[in-house]
């Protein structure tokens, strides 16, 4: 007896959805303007009252920032598009090969492919169980909650809402900490450690959030500190071999401290010759790592070194779609996946 069903498996009814921040569609001022308008109108991202914020956003920021940000995006853009999108897509493709019987999709909070369009496609293809992985290890309302909002809004438009699970965050997951540690160790095995001559440090830099958001009870700062500590322990570092900091401050309000750039300059002036920087909060390399760290911070650190006394700066790339990253995501996802995936 031939069993047709055995030869043509049904499309999987379980899906994993990876979510990242998103990028403009092109490195041009109009495309960046559209992207920033969407990003910065999200009330999870900017928590000021709209009556105060919207005139600033439309009257100042969306008139001045797009041209400047587009120039920065042009510096990191690749033949395949925005690095953030390329790395996120590759991560999803690699996970799809590892998670048997599970569809792995990816979407962006802002820009394309939108969460709404991807959720629609998954539901229409018969997905009945959806596991969402916002790719932000350290929980912040600005990222993890914003991703959830978008998934919930998308599902509000569907008739056949699947069973839903969300990975809340994974800042202390041994699989994740091990992956970042292995990534750093592999880099050091190839290129040498910064401490070997006794005057180097590892800087662990995270994207910041406003201090006011933290004061409202956001767990982000605590989770970043716990990741940094767990990473230092996994690497066997002494307290004077590493520092942690927060980058990418936006606007004039106080953000989480210490700020990455002034801290790196202070280290340079105080005799640190070799600085390695790792950004464990960024699952994928993007504008904020390639341009802000590997370019701007490098220049600032080297310029702050005493005249005639050379320094060395290295940026250790994000996990991206590396083998260690995929191993970690598989471990985190498999625990959350429904045991009967049919």
Ligand X SMILES: C=CC1=C(C)c2cc3[nH]c(cc4nc(cc5[nH]c(cc1n2)c(C)c5CCC(=O)O)C(CCC(=O)O)=C4C)c(C)c3C=C
46 vs 148, beta carbon nearer ligand X = 46
User: Edge to edge, what strands does the sheet with 200-207 contain?
Assistant: 242-247, 200-207, 274-278, 312-316
Residue 207 labelled as part of a binding site: yes
Minimum CB–partner distance for residue 271 and ligand X (Å): 31
Q: Does 322 bind ligand X (CB under 6 A)?
A: no
Q: Sign of the C-alpha dihedral, residues 196, 198, 203, 204?
A: positive
Output the residue with the shortest Cβ distance to Fe ion.
248
Binding mask of the shown chain, residues 23 to 42, with x at each position contacting ligand X by CB under 6 A: x------------x--x---
Q: Say whether residue 318 binds ligand X (CB under 6 A).
A: no
Q: Which residues contact 155 (CB under 8 A, 6 or more apart)?
A: 119, 123, 161, 162, 164
Task: Examine residue 82 and tell whether it contacts Fe ion (CB under 5 A).
Answer: no
Q: Does 144 bind Fe ion (CB under 5 A)?
A: no
CB 195 within 8 A of CB 239: no
Q: According to the binding rule CB under 6 A, does residue 21 interact with ligand X? A: yes
Residue 324 contact among Fe ion, ligand X, none, beta carbon within 5 to 8 Å by kind: none
Nearest approach, Cβ of 246 to ligand X (angstroms)? 9
In sequence order, what E strands does 79-157 have?
103-108, 129-134
Binding at 297: pick from Fe ion, ligand X, none (beta carbon under 5-8 Å per type)? none
- Residue 143 interacts with which of ligand X, Fe ion, none, CB < 5 to 8 Å by class: ligand X
Residue 142 interacts with, from Fe ion, ligand X, none (CB under 5-8 Å by kind): ligand X
Residue 263: which of 315, 187, 205, 209 has the closest Cα? 205
Query: Least separation, in Å, of the C-beta of 282 and Fe ion?
Result: 10
Other CB atoms within 10 Å distance of the CB of residue 193: 18
* Biggest alpha carbon–alpha carbon distance for the chain: 83
In the sheet where 103-108 sits, what is the strand order? Answer: 103-108, 14-20, 129-134, 163-166
Cα(222)–Cα(280) distance, rounded to whole angstroms?
A: 14
214 near ligand X, judged by CB under 6 A: no
- Neighbour tally for 191: CB within 10 Å: 11
Question: Is residue 171 a known part of a binding site?
Answer: no
Please select the residue that binds Fe ion; options are 205, 248, 260, 320, rule is CB under 5 A: 248
To the nearest 10 degrees (0 to 180), the angle between helices 115-124 and 146-155 is 40
Choose from ligand X, Fe ion, none: what does 281 bind? Cβ within 5-8 Å by kind.
ligand X
245 binds ligand X (CB under 6 A): no
Q: Shortest distance, CB of residue 258 to Fe ion, whole angstroms?
A: 16
**140 near ligand X (CB under 6 A):** yes
Q: Which residue has the tokens 């969407």?
A: 38
The answer for residues whose C-beta is within 8 angstroms of residue 195's C-beta and 6 or more apart is 201, 241, 274
Q: Which stretch binds ligand X (CB under 6 A): 124-132, 137-145, 174-182, 226-234?
A: 137-145
Residues 6+ apart with CB under 8 A from 283: 20, 87, 88, 91, 135, 136, 137, 318, 319, 320, 325
Q: Does 82 bind ligand X (CB under 6 A)?
A: yes
- Interface residue list for ligand X (CB under 6 A): 21, 23, 36, 39, 45-46, 65, 69, 82, 84, 136, 140, 142-143, 207, 209-210, 250, 281-282, 286-288
Annotated binding-site ranges for Fe(2+): 207, 288
- Interface residue list for Fe ion (CB under 5 A): 248, 288
Annotated binding-site ranges: 207, 288
């Amino acid at each position: 007896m031939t069993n047709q069903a055995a030869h043509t498996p049904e499309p999987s009814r379980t899906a994993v959805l990876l979510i990242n921040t998103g990028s403009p569609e092109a490195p041009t001022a109009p495309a960046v303007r559209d992207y920033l308008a969407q990003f910065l109108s999200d009330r999870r991202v900017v928590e000021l009252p709209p009556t105060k914020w919207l005139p600033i956003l439309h009257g100042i920021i969306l008139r001045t920032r797009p041209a400047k940000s587009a120039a920065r995006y042009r510096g990191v853009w690749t033949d395949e598009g925005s690095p953030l999108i390329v790395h996120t897509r590759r991560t999803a493709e690699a996970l799809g090969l590892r998670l048997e019987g599970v569809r792995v999709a990816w979407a962006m909070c802002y820009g394309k492919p939108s969460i709404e369009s991807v959720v629609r496609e998954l539901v229409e293809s018969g997905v009945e169980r959806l596991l969402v992985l916002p790719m932000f290890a350290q929980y912040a309302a600005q990222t993890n909650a914003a991703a959830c909002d978008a998934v919930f809004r998308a599902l509000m438009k569907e008739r056949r809402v699947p069973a839903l699970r969300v990975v809340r965050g994974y800042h202390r997951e041994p699989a994740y900490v091990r992956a970042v540690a292995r990534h750093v160790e592999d880099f050091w095995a190839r290129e040498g450690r910064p401490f070997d001559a006794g005057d180097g440090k590892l800087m662990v830099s995270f994207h910041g959030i406003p201090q006011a958001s933290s004061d409202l009870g956001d767990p982000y700062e605590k989770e970043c500190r716990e990741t940094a500590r767990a990473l230092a322990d996994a690497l066997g570092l002494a307290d004077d071999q590493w520092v942690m900091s927060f980058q990418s401050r936006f606007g004039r309000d106080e953000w989480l401290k210490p700020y990455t750039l002034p801290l790196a300059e202070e280290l340079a002036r105080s005799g640190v010759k070799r600085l390695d920087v790792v950004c464990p909060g960024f699952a994928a390399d993007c504008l904020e790592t390639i341009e802000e760290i590997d370019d701007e911070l490098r220049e600032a650190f080297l310029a702050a070194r005493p005249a005639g006394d050379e320094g060395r700066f290295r940026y250790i790339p994000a996990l991206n779609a590396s083998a260690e990253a995929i191993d970690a995501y598989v471990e985190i996802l498999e625990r959350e996946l429904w045991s009967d995936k049919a």
